[in-house]
Structure 1
Amino acid sequence: MCRKSAMVCLVKSPTNSQRALPSVADRLAVLPDPRDRRGRRHSLVSVLLTACCAVLTGVRSYAAVGQWAANAPQDALARLGVRALGPLGVRRAPATSTIRRVLTLVCPGGLADLLGRDPVGAESLTVDGKSARGSRTDTAAAAHLLCAVLPGGHAVAQLRVPDKTTEVTAFTALPAPFDLAGITVTADALHTCRDHAKWLVEAKRAHYLMVVKRNQPTLHAALRSLPWKQAPPAATTAGPVTGTGRHARSAR
């Protein structure tokens, strides 16, 4: 099974050399095409690149992606890899139905890993989860996504948390394929548990910074008893912190 969804996995986790390919098209070419060989008019890479470019312009639906593709100029379609047809060499963009079918069939695990940024060399990595807006239906709950993000907002990888579970079950699976040696992994109080801390230190040789709240009374009380007022600040941040306006202080 795919480590990122409940579907049958179509590709093994990408290697470091595949993730390091400079071209997005070369990375996407690693994915196997889930469609039948017969009747393919557009390559898998051209369809995926068309959808990516459309989403970057702000569209949020399959119909809008198809409309963007239909209105794309010939030079843009050429750069996306859409092949020329007929004696005049006219490039016809993938139809909305083709784009929808490919995006629902392609392996989400391989796609997310190939488009993410390698965390090697980074100082920190933040793990956080959010429910995808607009993903809730009458018969299914909203898709809850867990994402690993580098400073600056660059995503490393993302996976969907299995239904009827919490982010805790997906924490180790998210950054498992990546080298985290020397990186400080930060997470909220939900992930403050011994198993996660032990896995980060022993299995990934990483550091961790986790929030402790009153749901862990023993640890919370032990931390509150420390002489925090005597610890000199290592850094103080004052300014427009979104939604709170608080001062952030870290001790040595």
Structure 2
Amino acid sequence: MCRQSATVCLTKSPTAAQRGVSGVAERLAVLRDPRDRRGRRHSLVSVVLTACCAVLAGARSYLAVGQWARHAPLDTLARLGVRAVGPLGVRRAPSGSTIRRLLTLVCPCGLADLLGCDPAGTRHLAVDGKTARGSRTDTGPAAHLLSAVLQGGRTVSQLRVPDKTTEVTGFTKLLAPFDLTGVVVTADALHIHRDHARWLVEGKKAHYLLVIKRNQPTLHDALRALPWKEVTARRYDREAGHGRRETRSVRTLTVTALGLNFPHVTQAAKIHRHRTDLKTGKITRETVYAITDLTACEASPQAIGQLSRAHWDIEAVHHVRDTTFGEDASKIRTGHGPENMATLRSFAISTLRATGHRSIATGLREVSYMSFTRPLDLTGLL
């Protein structure tokens, strides 16, 4: 049975550098094939590459992936690594049932390495979870997936949170394989754990920016009681878009870890958002607090505001998977299918982001116009 451990899923563990520079096929080559050796007609690499390219062309289900493969021309199959058989060297695409069976069986934490993005040398990494609502069954809950996303919407890795547990249990497992030196990790209020903060700063040499809500009442009340009216370090930003006008203010204070009883904290921030709906005129106000180990010299109010806002890049990825790929409506439920299909969707989003597409829906339409060549070009298959 597959466990959430790279040592179980991979025949060898690639380094972070290899993850960043090797091609997709090379990254997939380290995956262990879960099928019996007898009767294999297609390699694991060729089947997964077929699924990757089909999703990049807009496929949302096993059936759609199988249809894309069935109609793929011979030159496309050759680029995907589909084996030529017989004296005439005929290539036959993997069937829909073969694709479905392999994506159901293959270890998800190994397939997540397909994403290939390396956080080393980047400024910011956001961690958050999402539930694939359509994967719920009569006997089991829906799959809950914890992801790490770089600024700009490129997914680094993903794992499924075991049933009857929370995202908290997967936080260190998700980030452990990566070099996070100097990276600022942001997370929502669910991950306000002292052990996580120590692990990031002391173990990974990283930084944190954590939002504090009322699930930590003592810490939240301590932050509210700080002398915010006397603060001179502040930043105001105004912008209009998406049918609303928004004003944000960020105030920061230097604090002590002893005073707030939280490891390595050096700054606290008060972030106030004032939004006006341009259509209805409705006004909403929201105030949140955040803590970080970054000093005032390392992070100004402007920088903290930018990091806080950048955290929502991960929400944008989840939104795209729901609206553009129909993830919540997907009825894929069996085995590792829900998390592996989510990985393929994240791979498609990351690939399109890397090629300059701000709108994933627009990018998918452009790819669909050359559905048997453009996905392979974007994936780097020669």
Q: How does 1:30-41 map to 2 (within 5 A)?
A: 30-41=30-41
Residue type matched to 2:233 in 1?
Answer: P
d(CA) in 1 for partners of 2:9, 2:227: 54
Residue of structure 1 in register with 2:237 after alignment: 236
Residue of structure 2 in register with 1:136 after alignment: 136
User: How far has the Cα of 1:14 moved from its partner?
Assistant: 3.4
Residue type matched to 1:72 in 2?
Answer: A
CA deviations over 1:54-110 (Å, ceiling 9, x no partner): 112222221221111001111111111112223332211001111112112212111
1:222 aligns to 2:217 (yes or no)? no
User: How far has the Cα of 1:249 moved from its partner?
Assistant: 3.3
Residue of structure 1 in register with 2:196 after alignment: 196
Structure 1's 105 and 58: CA in aligned 2 closer, same or farther, altered over 3 A?
Answer: same
Residue of structure 2 in register with 1:94 after alignment: 94
User: How far has the Cα of 1:121 moved from its partner?
Assistant: 0.8
Residue of structure 1 in register with 2:125 after alignment: 125
Which secondary structure state, in structure 2, belongs to the residue aligned with residue 134 of structure 1?
A: helix
Residue of structure 2 in register with 1:56 after alignment: 56
d(CA) in 2 for partners of 1:179, 1:49: 27
d(CA) in 2 for partners of 1:105, 1:62: 14
8 Å contact from structure 1 (residues 125, 148) kept in 2: yes
User: How far has the Cα of 1:243 moved from its partner?
Assistant: 8.9
CA deviations over 1:113-140 (Å, ceiling 9, x no partner): 2423110011010000010142112222
CA deviations over 1:22-43 (Å, ceiling 9, x no partner): 3101111111222222211111
8 Å contact from structure 2 (residues 149, 155) kept in 1: yes
Structure richer in strand, relative to its length:
2
Structure richer in helix, relative to its length:
2
Structure 1 unmatched runs, 5+: none
Runs of 4+ aligned residues of structure 1 deviating over 4 Å after TM superposition are: 242-245
8 Å contact from structure 2 (residues 20, 116) kept in 1: no
Residue of structure 2 in register with 1:10 after alignment: 9
Structure 2 unmatched runs, 5+: 252-300, 302-382
8 Å contact from structure 2 (residues 147, 155) kept in 1: yes
Percent identity over the alignment is 68
d(CA) in 1 for partners of 2:164, 2:14: 28
8 Å contact from structure 2 (residues 236, 247) kept in 1: no
Greater relative CO, 1 or 2 (CA 8 Å, sep 6+): 2
TM-score with structure 1 length normalisation?
A: 0.90
1:177 aligns to 2:177 (yes or no)? yes
Which secondary structure state, in structure 2, belongs to the residue aligned with residue 81 of structure 1?
A: coil
TM-score with structure 2 length normalisation?
A: 0.61
8 Å contact from structure 1 (residues 113, 157) kept in 2: yes
